[in-house]
Each structure stands twice: as structure tokens, then as C-alpha cells.
Amino acid sequence: MASHLPRPQDVTSKILSTMDEATSKTLTASLASEWIKELDESLRDTKEQIHDRIQSSFPEFQRQLETSVSVQTRLRTLTSQVDSLDRSLADLIPSVIDALQTHSTLAQTTLNAQIRHQALRHISHCRDAFTSLTTLVQNGDLPEAVGACKEMERLLEDAPEAVKRAQVCADLQRRFQASKARIEEQLGDAYSRCVLVNQLELSIAPSAQVRQSNRTLSLPDILSSLSPTSLNNHLSTLRRDVTSYYIHGLLTQPMAVEQDEVKLTFFPSPPTTSLQTRIKNLSQTIHFLHTHFFVHLPVEVSFSKSLCTPISSSLLTNLLIPNLSSSFGALPEFMELLKLAQEFEEECVVRLLSGDDRPIKSWADGVGGHYERQRRERILDMCRGMILHTGGWAETVKVQVQSQAPPEPAVVLVQEEEPGNDDADAGDAWDLDESLDDSTETDAEPQIKVDDSSWGFDESEPDTAIDDNWGFDDDTETNGHDEPVPEETNGHDDETNWDDPWNDPPSSAPAPPSPPEIKSPKAATRLEKLANKGKKSLDASSSSPMHSPSLTESPNVNNTSSTTTSLRVNVNPPPKAKEEKETYLVSSRTNDILSLVKETMRESREFAESPLASTLVSSSSSSTAGSTLNLTCASILDLYRALYPVLQLNSDSIENGGPIKFSNDCAYLAGEIGELLVSGSELGSGPEAVNKRLRECVAALKVLSDSWFEDAIETHRQQIDTIITSLTLSPSGSSYPSSFSHTTSQDRYDQCETALSLVLKYIRSLSKLYKPPTGILTKTRYYTALGSVTNTALTRVITEILELGDITEEESHRLGELCRIFGALEGLFVEDPEQPSFIVAYVPSWLKFSYLGELLEASLADITYLFSEGALVDFDVEELARLVRALFADTPLRASTIAKIMSGHPGSGGSS
């Protein structure tokens, strides 16, 4: 029945529940009688049910009853029998146990007797073996004793466990080890007396007598009797001594060898002994060792083969490589030595010592490359020593280079004069109210004598028109004639428009008489002279990109007394001057490096063309003979470019021209190597790969030269820029809006004057340092450098002045005076006092700066006139307009002038 179902209700439970509910008050005799009655009825009902159930299955009940009775009977019988067996076993077990104990005691006694017998028998064998071993050792029979030791060791290893733990076995083991050590000691002593090795003697006896016995042992018996450990120790010591004394020693020192029957004796020889003798001595020693020692070694020992690597390595390291020829002339002798070394390797290392490798033959196959690489290393070490040695760099030498004339302009402006007008207009064309002497005295610029013929103008007829950017009219005036008036051949020029600012007569004719004074209104005085000077100073051979304008007649000059100007273009280039040699300074050590390059290339050619080249270079090699030496030339230049800037220029400052000297050295090397690379020269006939590499070095040297030159000039320009920038700071620490502002103050003016004087002094110092022939640079590079530095100073001054927003009259005069400080710079670009200055060719802003100094003190009429004539093309219209606004008050005249300026330069077609 499931546990969750309620239990069935029976009479007993019901009665018990009722009895439990009864109390002392409700419990009565009648109630108890009822309970008894109910129980009796319940018992009676139960009996009836049992009886009915039995009766319903009586046969089955009868069978089960009989079975139960049978089981009970059998249980009683079995119990009785078990009890009987228990009583019998209780009497048998003690007897069995006693029998078993007796048997166990007898078995243990038997086992102990057997073990004792085996132990005693084994100990007896060990005693007999040890006695025999002791006898052999005492008699000096060491080889037989070694065999007895092995038998003794086997007996000790196979000893029963009981014997191993016995004290007698430990004592026997101790005595055996002592005998074994004595055997090893005697064998080692016999080996030491057979094999004697020292620096001056090698002795190998065929036998040795055992000490304290009459037995003599042969060397093979000694070697075969030694234990593997002891033999390896002796052979390791022998290998060390043979390597040190006879391999390295014989190959590094000159020695003489004498051989007896069983001994080699070594004696020091004079240093002049041939190197081949060293190989022969080593060969003799190896043969001696092989005959007297190596053949007696046990078969399983590979001692001789272990000497192959030390011999080959020492032969290469101590003899062949150090004595590899450092010059081509000594190579044949070295080749004989190398041939002998290869024969030695084949005979001794391969055949006698059973070596597998042939490192000497492999090295010999590439000996040409080894020679070239070693020679390359020595050459580069020599070059490195030249560069690191500072003494040669301080010394300089002068070298010559072809003069590098600046490029000629595409066209040359030539002014053609009309005949008969020299007397009328040879003087100052614009200072009409003053005499010639007065105009000359009032010229603010220094007067320099000029030879008109020095300009190099060609007098041929033009066939090309001039661009009108400079204010030239498209139609050339011909003074009323249909064709231009032919030029006079007497050398006189019309000075009407191309006035000579220095008022010097032409060299081909006497000076013309002074023109008569003409009292006429004038539009400009000094400015007209400056304009003419600027236009006249453009040399036909100048490389300057600027072309000064050519002024036509002034509109205020009497037309009846003026002449016309004819402009022509010279299509033929001016006659070339005779090519000149320019000199400059280079370090004397640079010549040494160049000589080293030439010598290296000469050596490489000799090596490549020599009959030995085919034997020195392996056929399987990918490189050709002399290729490594050829490439060494480029490596020399690379090493110079890498080391010199780092190690040398640290001590050379910009003030003493260190970077410029290095630039000259690089340019000199590039030029010389470039000349050698031309076809047919010593270097030009080399392999194309080498020439290509050298051309790369030449290009790198040129780039290095140009970069260092430009960096040095840039440093000078920055120094000048720093000086001018310092003008923005006042002594009190405050700042000015511009470097040239507030010049009305005397202190401020003095500050500006001092700074510009310092710039002038700095430029003059550069001129003294770089100017040829005593300076560092060539003439061409000197004027280029000086012009660049000068142009920086002028450009900065121009920029600072044009940025001023308001310039008073007093400031304009003072600024003009400051500008005239730089007028002395023109003298730095004069080589001959009889020749004009060529500053315009190298200082592009010179004309602009010169005009600026005059414009600061000019009137509006002067500025308008110069602008109309195209004299101010160097200025942007914005710059001119800004300058006019700063100089003049706001008036209608100023406004019209600015409007005219902003309309663009004459002939430009609009605002520029």
C-alpha cells in the first residue's frame, strides 16, 4: 500500500483510539466491558476468516504445512552434524600447525646452508683471482694484470647479494681498487717514459721497463692496456702539446729539425729561413708521429683524425694568411708556398691522418679574392690613417681649375649713337642748371674709371626686337631717316641717353669737351644720373637675370639740342675671352687620397693583366680578377666622405673656412676622378661596373661639395639676418615695430648705423677669407658666395624699409644715409680700377637697393619720371605705392601718382 494512503481502520486501532480519548471521568466499568466485548468479537471474526481461508485452499495449505515440517526436521539434522564436525576439527588443527612449523624450520636451515656455501665458493674464487692479480702486478705483467682486473671486476659484480653486503667483500673491493690504481700508475709511468714531449724534443720509445720488475712492455701493449679514461687523458695532453709545440710553434717560428731513430730535436733558426721550411718541418713531424705512435693506437681511438682541424687551421691562420703577399710582385713566391701547403694537406692531413675536408685547397681556390680583400683592407686602413691624422689637413696647396665663366645672356643691348652729337650731350644730360663739375661733385656714389670698350658690345646690325618691358618704344628712332643712322667708327658714343655716370672718356678717343650750360627746367637730378648709371652698368657678359632699363630723352630737355637713341640687338655672342685658370685651396692630404686612388687602380690593372690572374682566381668564382681592388677606389672615396666630416670638421669653425675647405676638397676630388674616367684614360678603361661606381662617387662628392658650400653661405646669411633682426630690440629691452623705425632719435640712428657697419665689416671679412688668389675659393665661387651674402643684407634692408608705414622727412634722410653705408660693397666687385664694377651680375637686388636709397630723398616728380621711364621695374607696384604713401602726405598729387603706379609698369600691359 502506498505510504500516502490512510492506514486501514481495524478494531484494535479503533478501540485504542477510544481508550485514548477516555478520561478519568468518562472511564467506567461498563465502558471497559464494551471494549473487551469488542475485542472478543474481533478475535472471533479473525479466527473465522482464517478458518475460511484455509478451507478454501486446503490442499495447498496441507502441502505447505508438510514442507515446513520437513524443513524443520532437516535443520535439526544438519545442526547436529555440524556440531559433530566442530568437535573433530578442534582436535586436528594443532597437529597440522605443528607439522608446518617443523617443515619451515628445516627449509630455512637448508637455504642458509646453500647461501653460505655459494658465498664461500664465490669468495674463494675472488680470493684466487685477487691472488693471481697481485702476483701479476708484482711481476710487472701489466697487460695480463689488466685482463685479470677485468675478471676480478666481473666476479665482484656477479657476487651474491649476501657477499656484497659482507665485510669481507668490502675489504676485497678496497684491495682490488688499490691494485688497479697501481696498475694504472705503472702503465702511465711506462707511457711517460715512452712518449717524451717538450718544446725542443719529441721522443717516442718503442718499449719501457716496468719499475721494480724485470718485465719490459712495448708501446702498443702500453697503449692497449691503458683504461679508456686514462688513455683519453694522455691523448688530450699529447694533442695539446703537439698543437702548441709542433703545429703552432713550427708554423710561427723558424726552426731546424734533426731526426734520430726514435727522437726529433728542434733548434731555433735565423729569421731569414724560408717559409717553406716550416711546412717541411711540420710534415717531418707528422710522419714521425704516424710511424712511431699513431699506428700503435687502438683501432677504436681516432686521435690522429682529431689533429686535422688544428693543423689546417694553424696552417691558414699562422702561415698562409699572415704571409699573403701585400704587393703584386711577391705573389709568385707566395704561390710556391701555397702549392707546398696543398701538397702537405694531401699527403699528411688526408692520407696519413685520414682527414675528410680540404680547407687549404678551398682557401687556395679563392686566393685571388683573398689577396684582393687583404689588399683592400690595408689600403682602406692607410686611407683611414690619412684621414684621422690631423696634420695634413691644416696644410693647403693651390690647385688650378678651368675658369667657369657665367652664362652669356641671350641678347645684348647695344646703344647706337648718332654722329656729331658728342660735343653737345657728352656731359651730364640731366643736371641742366649746373656745370659739369658741379654735377660730378654732387654725385653721391664713388666714381670709378671705366673703359667703354670693356663692355664688349658687338657693333653688328640687329635682327631681333627688344621686349618693351623696360619702357623701350617699339619703333626705333632714326632721326628722320628711313633707315637707322650707321654707327660711327671713331669710338665716340652718344651720351644723351646712355650717360657715363663716372664721366670718363672712352679709351679709344680723347675726352670730349664739356657741354655748354643749358638753363632749362629739369625733372630729375641725381636720380636721372643713377638711372643712367644703372642701365649702363649691365655688362654684356654678365649672368645677371636683370636687365636695367634704357631711358629715352627726358620730356623736360630741349628737343632741339637732344639726340635720339637707336636700340639694337647683338645676335652674335661677344668675343670669348681667353680661357683662364682659376686657383683655389685644397688640403694637401686630399692629394694623398687622390694618389692612393690612382695607385690602387694601377695595381688592380696590373693584377688583372698578369698571367697569375688565371691561377689566382677560381673558374667557379663569379668575380673577375682585380674587381675587388677596382671597387676599393670607390671605397676610399666613401670612407673619406664618411669620416672626414665627423672627425675633422669638429675643430674647423665657419670663421676659418672649414666647411668651404671641405667643399673645395670634395670638388677637387670629384673633378680629378671625373677627368680620369674619360675614355682612354687609366680609370676609363676599367670595368663598366667599377666606372659606374666611381661615377656615383663623383656625383656624391659634387653633391657634398655643393651642399657644404651652400650650407656655409647660408650660415653667413643667417648671421647677417641675425644682426639686422637685433635692431628690433632697444637697449632698454623693449621692441621696435621695424628694424629701421624711429631713426629720428640719435641713439636709435646710432644703433642702426652700428649694426649696418657690423654687417659691412662681416662681409669684408668674408671677402678677405675667400677672395682669390690668397683666399680659399675660386673667382667664380667667390663672387657667387659674396654676392649671395651681400644680396641677403640688401634684401633684408629693402624689406625692412618698405614695411615702414610712415616715414618723416628727417627719417627719409637718415634712412638714405644708412643705405649709403652699403655703397662701399660695390668696391668688392671690382678687380681692375680701370674697369667698372660688376656687382649687378652677382647681387640681383643691387639696382633696387640703389634706387631705394635715392627714392627715400626724391620728390614725387622724380619718382613719377623714373617710373614712366621704366627705371623702377625692380620694384613691385605695391611696394612703390606703399613707399609713396609712407614718404608723402595725402594730396591729390600723391593720389594720382599712386594711381599711375598701380596701373602697372610702362609696357607691362597692366599691374605687375
**Whole-number pLDDT of residue 681:** 61
Q: Are 814 and 747 in contact (CB under 8 A)?
A: no
Average pLDDT over residues 3-29: 74
pLDDT at 178 over 70: yes
Half-sphere exposure of 6 (CA within 13 A, CB side): 4
**Whole-number pLDDT of residue 327:** 75
Cα separation of 718 and 675, whole Å? 36
Cα of 293 vs its chain's centroid, Å: 55
Half-sphere exposure of 462 (CA within 13 A, CB side): 21
HEC letters along 349-372: HHHHCCCCCCHHHHHHHCHHHHHH
pLDDT at 548 over 60: no
**Whole-number pLDDT of residue 434:** 37
**Which candidate, 874, 757, 772, places its Cα nearest to that of 817?**
757
Separation of first and last alpha carbons in the chain: 124
Amino acid (1-letter code) at residue 37? K
**Which candidate, 462, 413, 423, places its Cα nearest to that of 563?**
423
The chain-wide mean pLDDT, for the chain, equals: 76
Phi, psi angle pair for 216, to nearest 5°: -110, 130
Which residue is listed with cell 623736360? 556
Alpha helices in 648-778 (DSSP H): 658-676, 688-725, 746-770
Cα separation of 366 and 233, whole Å? 39
Max Cα-Cα span within the chain: 191
Coil, helix or strand for 226? coil
Tens digit of each residue's pLDDT (9 = 90 or more) over 449-505: 333 333 333 333 333 333 433 333 333 333 333 333 333 333 333 333 333 333 343
Tens digit of each residue's pLDDT (9 = 90 or more) over 195-244: 999 989 999 999 998 888 888 889 999 999 888 899 999 999 999 999 99
pLDDT band, very low/low/confident/very high, at 521 (cuts 50, 70, 90): very low
**Whole-number pLDDT of residue 369:** 81
pLDDT band, very low/low/confident/very high, at 847 (cuts 50, 70, 90): very high
Query: Hey, how many other C-beta atoms are within 10 angstroms of the C-beta on 765?
Result: 12
Cα separation of 304 and 150, whole Å? 28
pLDDT at 280 over 80: yes
- Give the H/E segment covering residue 218: strand 216-218
Weakest-pLDDT range from 83-87, 246-250, 307-311, 508-512: 508-512
pLDDT at 390 over 70: no
Cα separation of 365 and 144, whole Å? 53
Compute and round to an integer the Cα radius of gyration of the chain. 63
**Whole-number pLDDT of residue 789:** 93
